Chain A
């Protein structure tokens, strides 16, 4: 009996609570309002016009990059991309070459199918017909013993690329070849100048050969498979001994792309795509603080307590720059995405992170395309800087300015597509490419941000009560 009673009472209470004392639908909202709490946050907007940066600095990417999977050769948009290869040549073949009456060499590069055979490749890319002027330079090592010769295979890429930063050689030769590439072609054959062949065949023993090819006047940047892409498509240096008609193809142990910047204006803020150029811009705190202060009637920056301002929160921040596409050029003719990167405090450190671009004005995108693009309709560039401005207003009491940076991302094929992804599977099960999957080589001069003011638009939620 006891047991039953003990179980019965709690059950009874549960029953009472669920049946007799049901809550009203709007019980909570009226309770909240009696407590002075809202049932939703009122979105408020503040616009800060006439923002001029207090500093703008361009960081150019001039480091050698690995070309293990994909290499570049050519020139476009103020950048020259040289291809550098690292070969190991054995003594037996060099001996044969030395004895031969004449010899020749050529470099075969397999064109990168992903780019040249991509179904949405802009039609202006192919065919390519040009007389390609090549500057060839090379370094032949001292004689290597067998152990050192085999050790060449295991040189670490980063170590080699670090050495490449100071490429010095007197061995240079120029040559011109005519190149013709249509959509069916997959090979780029570069005949090496005879000076190169003659210099190499002078040597004996096992040698390391580093070869740099530059085409500063090329009309196109040739994309080719790197030595890490597999044996079949690796860059190969063929050396042919004419007398016996015997030849040997040497596969590059490693390859790199060395990019040099040929921009003439050193003060200009020219940002390039296809490399890791970035433009860091700092805006002064004062006009932003003043606009907030005018809007809320409070003191900005907030200096009470630990000076961290949580009186309001930035739900969205959008910074709009003036844009004139004639200040830039691109190779593929597609709009190029601009990525904004901001700085935020996290666990006592400043973390640099890419702003998410999840929300955008769908109806505007359908009509006029995404607003974070260059090389498309319109005369403005809008970047979302929510996390950065959020952190900036939060910590503005320490006197900081608002700092952001921008970089180029991939070119975009479907600028009016509201699915902001590189690609997606459509309802038919096919892949729809929103972005072109490979970088364009383009340039855009952002110098105008110095004198054409930007506009910052803030969407805010405030904890302030209503008067």
Chain B
């Protein structure tokens, strides 16, 4: 267990690979980043089942679950940013979310998710002595949400459920840019004073929500025989990032930091989706989530020639997916018991002029009799940019989800 926890902590200290929006909030992990969702193009928040688990977009869904589900998700992400002749590749390993849902029959379903909603990380250095260049950049930003959710089916109309979740936000931001000296502007006789003296522009701070403990999502879900729908509303909120920034000459030799708080007004999100089931085990689904940003995002401690703000745009995510549920009959062949998934998405980022097109295929491999499953998804796509600062990126990724299912509180045959 100890080993497992330390491995988990190790993985969760990494974050996502995109280099876009590092100065703002980083890359957003859609739909909790679950491997099962990713396999079907992040669609299927409306899909119900007996152990679909927590959906951070649609908290009402879990009311239809009948089994306790614990779900851990991992992401291995390779992303290449390129512009003209330069390209730059990063590989990241992260743990976008951990979810637990706990159905209590007529008392509804309680769930909790730990979701790395936004993250950005980068740690690279480079040196070119001929041109007096020496730089090391380190970004480490993570906005985590602890999301308790509760959903219940209406007692008088069981096809409809209502759900709500509270998102408690936490996290940290660090940017450290270490630079070597460029003595070209001073006389040769004075160069001794700065030779080999590196300095670091250091920014760090915590994330929280301003004036409120959390932001909230409310959702309603309808489960029909063939078609299921959901609609959710997420309240707007203001993210507060208390930053301290200073110069560091070494770890123990620093200036007294300047304090600055940046506030990011995240708009309300509307989301809806549909899942259509046919031929018993085949599902097609489509989801859309939409937010109208009206304020730019202040960048972390603007300095050098960094832009002061990250301009925003209306951010939306349209996804379509297909899933063939695996047979839950243990005596069927293994191939039949595997769940197959495929999907595609188009996402307009919150960062202006950045859009993402992606596709994925995935499968859920049942392990043992009880419905325990290992979800695998392979995704790939491009992030297109149309400005001077952000580079376009292409990426591939592998997601792994572990789904543990238990039928607590149920007698055999129920």
Contacts and interface: CB of A to CB of B under 8 A. Distances in A.
Interface of A: 2, 6, 9-10, 13-14, 16-17, 21-32, 34-45, 305-306, 308-310, 313, 315-316, 318, 345, 359-364, 387, 390-391, 394-395, 459, 461, 463-466
Contacts of B374: 6
27 contacts: A2-B365, A6-B376, A9-B378, A10-B398, A13-B396, A17-B78, A27-B88, A35-B23, A36-B307, A37-B137, A38-B305, A39-B179, A40-B133, A41-B182, A44-B186, A45-B190, A305-B259, A306-B258, A306-B259, A308-B257, A313-B249, A315-B181, A315-B193, A316-B194, A361-B193, A390-B255, A463-B303
A395 B256 contact: yes
B370 interface: no
Contacts of A13: 76, 78, 91, 396-398
Nearest to B77: A13
A9 B86 contact: no
B214 to A, nearest CB: 28
Contact of A466 (B259, B305, B397): B305
Interface stretch (B112-120, B124-132, B158-166): B124-132
A41 B82 CA distance: 25
B135 A28 contact: yes
A24 B128 CA distance: 13
B314 interface: no
Nearest to A390: B255
B177 interface: yes
A16 B258 contact: no
A345 B184 CA distance: 32
Nearest to A460: B194
Contacts of B365: 2
A43 B183 CA distance: 5
Given A13-B398, A16-B78, A31-B88, A394 B126 contact: no
B265 interface: no
A4 to B, nearest CB: 12
Interface in B79-93: 80-81, 83, 85-89, 91
B265 to A, nearest CB: 21
Interface of B: 19, 23, 76, 78, 80-81, 83, 85-89, 91, 124-126, 128, 131-135, 137, 177, 179-186, 189-195, 197, 199, 201, 245-247, 249, 253, 255-260, 303-307, 365, 374, 376, 378, 388-391, 396-398, 400
A395 B255 CA distance: 9
A157 to B, nearest CB: 35
A37 B89 contact: no
A394 B185 contact: no
Contacts of A463: 201, 303-304
Nearest to A18: B91
A230 to B, nearest CB: 40
B391 A31 contact: yes
A31 B81 CA distance: 9
A350 to B, nearest CB: 12
Contacts of A32: 135, 137
A52 B184 CA distance: 32
B86 A40 contact: no
Contacts of A43: 181-183, 185-186, 191, 194
A459 B194 contact: yes
- Which of B125, B256, B374, B397 neighbours the largest number of chain A CB atoms within 10 Å of its CB? B256
A224 B83 CA distance: 76
A465 B258 CA distance: 18
A310 B126 contact: no
Contacts of A306: 258-259
A308 B301 CA distance: 14
Nearest to B181: A43
Q: Top 8 nearest A-B pairs by Cβ distance? A: A36-B305, A316-B193, A465-B305, A27-B88, A21-B89, A463-B303, A39-B133, A313-B247
Contacts of A308: 246, 255-259
Nearest to A365: B192
Contacts of B186: 43-45, 459
Contact of A22 (B76, B89, B184, B260): B89
B126 A25 contact: yes
Contacts of B190: 45, 459
Given A37-B304, A44-B186, 19 more contacts: A9-B398, A13-B397, A14-B76, A21-B80, A23-B89, A24-B87, A27-B88, A28-B137, A29-B128, A29-B133, A30-B86, A40-B182, A41-B180, A306-B258, A308-B259, A310-B247, A359-B192, A364-B189, A391-B255
A25 B88 CA distance: 9
Contacts of A390: 255
A27 B86 contact: yes
A10 B374 CA distance: 14
Contacts of A465: 303-306
Nearest to A458: B193
Contacts of A17: 78, 89, 91
Contacts of A459: 186, 190, 193-194
B78 A21 contact: yes
B376 A9 contact: yes
A17 B17 CA distance: 12
Given A37-B304, A362-B192, A461-B199, A310 B246 contact: yes
Contacts of A309: 258
A45 B258 CA distance: 23
B304 A310 contact: no
Contact of A310 (B81, B245, B398): B245
Nearest to A37: B304
Given A40-B132, A310-B255, A361 B189 contact: yes
B390 to A, nearest CB: 8
Given A6-B376, A463-B201, A35 B389 contact: yes
